[in-house]
Chains A and B, each alone.
Chain A
Amino acid sequence: MEWKSDLFKYFPNTISRALENIRCLSPLCEIRIRVNKRIQLVFSNRDILIEHCVSENECSLLLELLCEHSIYARTDELKNCFLTLPKGYRVGVCGDFSCENGKIRCLTSASFFNFRIARECIGSARDAVKYIQHGEKLNSTLMISSPGVGKTTLLRDTARLISTYGGKKVCIADERCEISGARNGVPCLDVGERTDVMSGSPKAEAMMSMIRTMSPDVIITDELGSKEDIKAVREASSCGVCVIASAHSGSLLELERRPGLCELLKDNVFDNVLLLHRNMDKVFTEKVI
């Protein structure tokens, strides 16, 4: 199982031993570790609890290993309660935070971890790409869904298809290294033959830099939300670059209530809005605009 070889180096020995004999009959979606509770494995159709109670010491060791013994190198990510590991695994981190002037200053102790298992789904974006590329013409597209449906996985495969088979120059603004799974600037996941990746940098800055320097046909980015992201998408679109992005929203109605994103819809910055649904292991794409 690939996730074992990818993740075991970050687990304390006691937790690795508890998980090494697990056999997954269906794809594993999440590993949830909580202090003084049993480890939870979440599959697509059920979840199980492993008979190993995680101690406080194991939690602090886990954080140290996740940060590669260098918390100073990951403080910005920890302030946003997540860490990204190579190959696109995302770890949500919760616990005790200290605040200053109403904002999170730093994580003082980590007690809850959610490992989201990254998976490459080659070919999963075939239906979505039909709406995005018609020959030479490209349509800016926004993919929306609730959390955990597979937006990032779909964006990754979209990049691969448009770049390798569509013949277009693709640039990915990969702020949290989830789309390309980049490590030290090298993508660990297949994002296509004609794709450039800017990882670790804020989306808005990355998009503007890549437009100026990499002459993309398409810019792909994940999880639009802030004012800066919205502004960067407008500017990219006005430069003639096709933008493919994702946003958290369970429906078109919810999307229209989100400030910033609803203005992008009104101004027709996006040619398509695709709503994603998950049924067991399959993701279905529905064009709503």
Chain B
Amino acid sequence: MCVYIGQQKGRALKARSKILIGLNDDIERLLNSMEYTRLPISRLIEMLTPCNEKTFWDTLTLNIQNSESLVCAYDKTMRELQMKKTGFEQLREEDKGVLESFFSTLGKGDFTSEKNNIQLVLKRLFSLAGEAENVEKKYVKLYSSLGLFSGLTLFLIIL
């Protein structure tokens, strides 16, 4: 049980790190496609390959068709993914804040302002992803070991 709890904690940290790194790469590819083709957002997302966070982008594409704004579509997407326990429930408030600010400004200006906004978001996401990776490296082993140690201790006590 303790080992299980420890492993769950480790998995949560890994999920957060994976999502942040994946989204960072996907958004960078989105910017490159935007620069080359200047197509609308929904088409750029459809053409996004390779795609790290396919579930996120597919859900977002569906929600864009039924929403009046990108930020509404993003909110709906996050709620759905968190309910389905896809790993997005592990994102912290500051991670979600960066993503929300990205979608609230996306598509509202000319290409130069879009590029500047997206590069700013990429910087912040990259820094959060780096921090998440460090936390993962530091604590995953610790949680697993603590879990194993607590489990053994309890077992010995009971024995």
Contacts and interface: CB of A to CB of B under 8 A. Distances in A.
B107 A70 contact: yes
B109 A72 contact: yes
B153 interface: no
A64 B69 contact: yes
A224 interface: no
Interface in B79-117: 106-111, 113-114
A72 B108 CA distance: 7
Contacts of B42: 68-70
A243 B109 CA distance: 38
B23 interface: no
Contact of A73 (B40, B68, B70): B40
A75 B40 contact: no
Contacts of A68: 40-42
A68 B114 CA distance: 15
Contacts of B135: none
Contacts of A72: 34, 38, 107, 109-111, 113-114
A65 interface: yes
B39 interface: yes
Contact of B40 (A13, A61, A70, A106): A70
A67 interface: yes
Nearest to B71: A69
Contacts of B107: 64, 67, 69-72
Contacts, number: 46
A73 B38 contact: yes
A12 interface: yes
Residues of A in contact with B, size category: 10 to 19
B80 to A, nearest CB: 19
B64 interface: yes
Contacts of A73: 38-40
A69 B109 contact: no
Contact of A71 (B34, B39, B43, B110): B110
Nearest to B67: A69
Contacts of B40: 67-70, 73
Contacts of B64: 69
Interface in A132-151: none
Interface of A: 12-13, 61, 64-65, 67-73, 75, 106, 184
20 contacts: A13-B68, A61-B69, A64-B68, A65-B68, A67-B40, A67-B107, A68-B41, A68-B42, A69-B69, A69-B70, A69-B107, A70-B40, A71-B110, A72-B34, A72-B38, A72-B107, A72-B113, A73-B39, A75-B111, A184-B43
